[in-house]
Every structure is written in structure tokens, then in C-alpha cells.
């Protein structure tokens, strides 16, 4: 989020301009169903810290604003064309494939779980906690972390729903529970078998203190049933991936990683998932 504040045009280009171009291409190709990757950042700072799909969309950073623009374009194009869509508003996506096949390799990543696991495996010297004076139980930001495998399943379920005749819909993708930055770090330390170096730092522009999903609707509409709603499983899979890709740290993780079946491919010439 903070990166979008320092480089807003990059985010408007990627999330707004590119989405417009993609929708135009889909119109030319006759795409009938569209699953759109949006973000909980469209909500900004809900008063209670918990957002359902009817909560006001008042983003406080360019990332959230650019995602909301994508939603608007999709809505308006669908109204004019008959396209049916599912907007999935991601909360904090974390973890790696539980079978160890793929995972994040972004250089200079800013995602908390990725950075913490890089510190645990010696790729970084320390982790900075940006903001320790929020109005939360331990002073650090609280987020709803959703495992990437469960998120992948949500995409498949959304496309199945649309192909079955479902109406266009907007859905939160989260578990409905929050963990603070310090909660996440404790999970990393449990998985790592020891502490990691941490320093406190000032708040970053564009960060909110508390954001948790009301995920009632996605379970009702899609029948979505999360399999990895456990912070230790999320962190265990993330740390296992870091060990896998870094030959310098051969230590096995003590975190719990569960085996999961591979997702079937939602193949269709008339569907788009982005």
C-alpha cells in the first residue's frame, strides 16, 4: 500500500489502464464470464475495522483507488454487454502452495509474511514493524490473512458459479479473523524454532490499523470452505518455501504444512480470471 503512495502512476497504469485494455480484449473475444482480483483496500478504514460487501468503498491509498476503478469499469462494461462477473476482494494473501510446488520469489518483497520468513532464513538482517502505536490490542496493525491455496479455490468456485448461471457478485475473500503483526511474528518464531530480529519503525503512509473480512457471503454464495484457516499452517507453508528455494538454509521448518490436492483447471474459452 505504501509503495502505491510513493509511485501512484505505476498502480493506476497496472490496475486501472491495463484492466480497461483487458476488458476491451475480452469484449472482442466474446468472453462471457470474468473473475476479477480486487482488494480489501477498496474499503479504506471501516469504522468498526470489519467490512462486509456493503461497507462504503473509500480507499485511502492509490492501490485501493486503482482497484476500485477496475471494479467500476467491470460493472459498467457488464451492464452494457451482458458479461457476468465475480469480484473477489482479497484480504491479506499469505503462505505458499502446501505441496511446495510454487511460491513467491519477488525481490525486495514488502508482504509481512514473506519478509518475516526471509529474515528467519537469513536473507534479511531484520524485520521492521511499521507502526507500534495503532489503536489495537498490541499497538500493531491487524489484518485478515488468507492462505493462497484457499484463495485459488475461491477463484475456481467463482468461475464454476458463473458458468452455472450465477449472477454477477462481489465477494470478500478472507477468514473473518484478524492477526496483528506481532501475532504473525510469533507464528514465524514458532515455525523457525527461535526468535527473529525485529526493529520498531514509524507508521507508513496508506496503512490502516485494523481490517478484517465479514466473509459470510462468499461461503453462502459459492459454498467456499477454507482448508487452511490457521496462522501456523499459513506461516509453516511460507517458511517451508523459503527453505526450499534457499540452499544456504537447509534447516527443515517445524511449522505445520498440510498436504492438499491440486486444484482442477477451470478451462473454458469463454472465461477470464485475472
Assign 3-class secondary structure to 201-220.
ECCCCCCCCEEEECCHHHHH
Q: What is the pLDDT of residue 76?
A: 97
Model pLDDT, residue 247: 52
Three-state SS at 140 = coil
The reported pLDDT for the residue numbered 266 is 36
How much is the mean pLDDT over the chain?
90
Give the Cα separation of 272 and 31 in Å (integer): 7
Q: What is the mean pLDDT of residues 126-155?
A: 97
pLDDT at position 210 is: 96
pLDDT of residue 205: 83
Strand partners, 38: 89
The average pLDDT across 126-137 equals 96
How far is it, in rounded angstroms, from Cα 27 to Cα 25? 5
Residues annotated as catalytic are 63
- CATH superfamily placement of domain 2-273: NAD(P)-binding Rossmann-like Domain (3.40.50.720)
Number of neighbouring beta carbons within 10 Å of residue 28 = 8
Report how far residue 141's alpha carbon sits from residue 225's, in angstroms, rounded to the nearest whole number: 26
Cell match 501512484: residue? 8
For a pLDDT cut of 90, what percent of the chain falls above it?
82
Using one digit for the tens of pLDDT, what is the confidence trace for 157-205?
Answer: 999 999 999 999 999 999 999 999 999 999 999 999 999 999 999 998 8
Amino acid at each position: 500500500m505504501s509503495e502505491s503512495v510513493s509511485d501512484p502512476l505505476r498502480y493506476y497504469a497496472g490496475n486501472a489502464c491495463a484492466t480497461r485494455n483487458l476488458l476491451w480484449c475480452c469484449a472482442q473475444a466474446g468472453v462471457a464470464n470474468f473473475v476479477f482480483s480486487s482488494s480489501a483496500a477498496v474499503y479504506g478504514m471501516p469504522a468498526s475495522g470489519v467490512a462486509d460487501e456493503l461497507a462504503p468503498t473509500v480507499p485511502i491509498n492509490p492501490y485501493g483507488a486503482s482497484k476500485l476503478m477496475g471494479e467500476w469499469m467491470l460493472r459498467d462494461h457488464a451492464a452494457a454487454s451482458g458479461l457476468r462477473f465475480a469480484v473477489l476482494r482479497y484480504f491479506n494473501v499469505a503462505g505458499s502452495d502446501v505441496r511446495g510446488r510454487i511460491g513467491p520469489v519477488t525481490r525486495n518483497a514488502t508482504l509481512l509474511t514473506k519478509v518475516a520468513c526471509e529474515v528467519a532464513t537469513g536473507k534479511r538482517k531484520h524485520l521492521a514493524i511499521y507502526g507500534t502505536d495503532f489503536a489495537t490490542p498490541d499497538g500493531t496493525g491487524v489484518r485478515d490473512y488468507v492462505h493462497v491455496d484457499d484463495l485459488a479455490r475461491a477463484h475456481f468456485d467463482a468461475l464454476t458459479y458463473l458458468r452455472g448461471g450465477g449472477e454477477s457478485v462481489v465477494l470478500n475473500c478472507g477468514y473473518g479473523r484478524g492477526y496483528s503483526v506481532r501475532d504473525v511474528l510469533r507464528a514465524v518464531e514458532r515455525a523457525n524454532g527461535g526468535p527473529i530480529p525485529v526493529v520498531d519503525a514509524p507508521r507508513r503512509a496508506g496503512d490502516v490499523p485494523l481490517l478484517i473480512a465479514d466473509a459470510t457471503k462468499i461461503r453462502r454464495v459459492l459454498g467456499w470452505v477454507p482448508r487452511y484457516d490457521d496462522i501456523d499452517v499459513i506461516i509453516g507453508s511460507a517458511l517451508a518455501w523459503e527453505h526450499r528455494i534457499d540452499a544456504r538454509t537447509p534447516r527443515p521448518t517445524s511449522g505445520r504444512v498440510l498436504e492438499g490436492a491440486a486444484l482442477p483447471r477451470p478451462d473454458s474459452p469463454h472465461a477470464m480470471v485475472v
